[in-house]
Amino acid sequence: MEGRQRAGFIGLGAMGEPMARHLHRAGHLVAVWNRTPARAVALAADLGVVAAADPAGLAAGCDVVLTCVSADDDLLGVVDALLPGLRPGMLVIDTSTVAPDTAREAARRLAVAEVGFLDAPLTGGVEGARNGTLSVLVGGGEAEFERARPLLESFGRRVVRFGPVGAGQATKAVNQVMVAGIAEAVCEALALAQRLGLDSAAVVDTLGNGAAGSWFLDKRGHSMLAGRFDVGFKLRLLHKDLGILAALARAEGIDLPVVEAARADYARLLALGHGDEDISALIRLKQENVKSGTLPATPSLPVTGPGAP
Ligand code: NA7
């Protein structure tokens, strides 16, 4: 039956590992592969599935292969490594965030082997992956989508097809503009609350209940105020997504100023060695900005010297 397709999972990182567990719970998972083998060996032992020796070996025992790797070149490398093990009629579903053009290129390479492809990037973060409450943004053919639906619903609460291959990634790009902009606003606001000497924990709880409420403020407000950036979404990955958006803006001949500002901030944090921290580590820069005098030390700071009124 359709719901019992044999699935293999490639890329057992922060998102992939919990998603593979959901596929297993739903009865689909038969094999896993990860570039760093220890992760695959540990999960396979835990779940009683096969730890494949390589992507082609994994493909040989599956009907559907799901991937969740870091970036564009990683995905295309995995697709190439899968090809020797794929059979006509199989389906590859990529849940990584890559450029729409990369999704279309992966689909082209797989079509040569008569293998279907869906781009299926995710929103909902590591918590969403653990809880099986992700939104899955799908691009690809309707028949492939219906075939994939039971697998995607094992970890996705909302599974929506937006159009042909690439449309899922285009939708994810739209999402990342909002993710980046909300992070800019929340981190800037909480650094200001600290600067003004407010009870910033009470600010999070109280303002989070009103028009300024957001997933990011709710889930990351308290941890960023405590200086904890170990949970969640690595900022190097958002920086990568903002690069995808910058390329989209160039291709469309438009400006995305929110994206440009956020991209510059995350480039700075990467250069400072914070790439593996959660995106809420952006508050570090907002706190520094305050210290370096972007805002006056107190609202009533006396102004002296030439030109003073
Ligand atoms: P993580 O936790 O950094 O995990 C990335 C995974 O991708 C991890 O399993 C990596 O293997 C794997 N990876 C990275 N590069 C490659 C290459 N070249 N070949 C094979 N496997 C690779 O990221 P997340 O799980 O948070 O995010 C994954 C995607 O979802 C990303 O596109 C996000 O933007 C959204 P490793 O264990 O390091 O050997």
Same domain, 218 and 135: no
What atom of ligand 1 comes closest to residue 12's alpha carbon? 9
How many domains in the chain? 2
The answer as to whether 62 is a domain residue is yes
Look at residue 50 and give its three-state secondary structure: strand
Q: 63: which 2 tokens?
A: 């009907």
Same domain, 53 and 110: yes
The answer as to whether 297 is a domain residue is no
Spatial CA neighbour of 275 closest among 284, 263, 266, 283: 266
The mean predicted confidence, pLDDT, of the chain is 93
Domain membership of residue 217 as a residue range:
170-289
For ligand 1, mutation pick of 32, 39, 58, 70 (most atoms within 8 Å of CB): 70
**Is residue 303 over pLDDT 80?**
no
Q: What is the pLDDT of residue 292?
A: 56
CATH number where 223 lies? 1.10.1040.10
Decide: 12 in ligand 1 pocket, CB within 6 A.
yes
Q: How far apart are CA 24 and CA 154, in angstroms?
A: 9
Decide: 175 in ligand 1 pocket, CB within 6 A.
no
Same domain, 33 and 127: yes
- Strands (DSSP E) contained in the chain are 7-10, 29-33, 50-51, 64-67, 91-94, 116-119, 122-123, 134-139, 156-163
The answer as to whether 81 is a domain residue is yes
Catalytic residue selected from 172, 234, 240, 286: 172
- Determine the distance from the C-alpha atom of residue 206 to the mean position of all C-alpha atoms in its chain, rounded to a whole number: 28
Residue 138: pLDDT band with limits 50, 70, 90: very high
Same domain, 99 and 54: yes
pLDDT digits (tens, 9 = 90+) for 160-186: 999 999 999 999 999 999 999 999 999
Percent of the chain with pLDDT over 70: 93
Spatial contact of 123 and 215, defined as CB atoms under 8 Å apart? no
Any catalytic annotation for residue 234?
no
Ligand 1 centroid to residue 238 C-alpha, Å = 13
Same domain, 262 and 285: yes
| N-terminal to C-terminal alpha carbon distance within the chain | 80
164, 183, 218 - which closes a domain: 164
Decide: 68 in ligand 1 pocket, CB within 6 A.
yes
pLDDT digits (tens, 9 = 90+) for 257-298: 999 999 999 999 999 999 999 999 999 999 997 555 554 444
Q: What is the pLDDT of residue 232?
A: 84
| Bridge pairing between strands 91-94 and 64-67 | parallel
For ligand 1, mutation pick of 32, 69, 135, 278 (most atoms within 8 Å of CB): 69
Prediction pTM value? 0.92
Task: Give the range among 89-93, 157-161, 220-224, 299-303 with minimum mean pLDDT.
Answer: 299-303
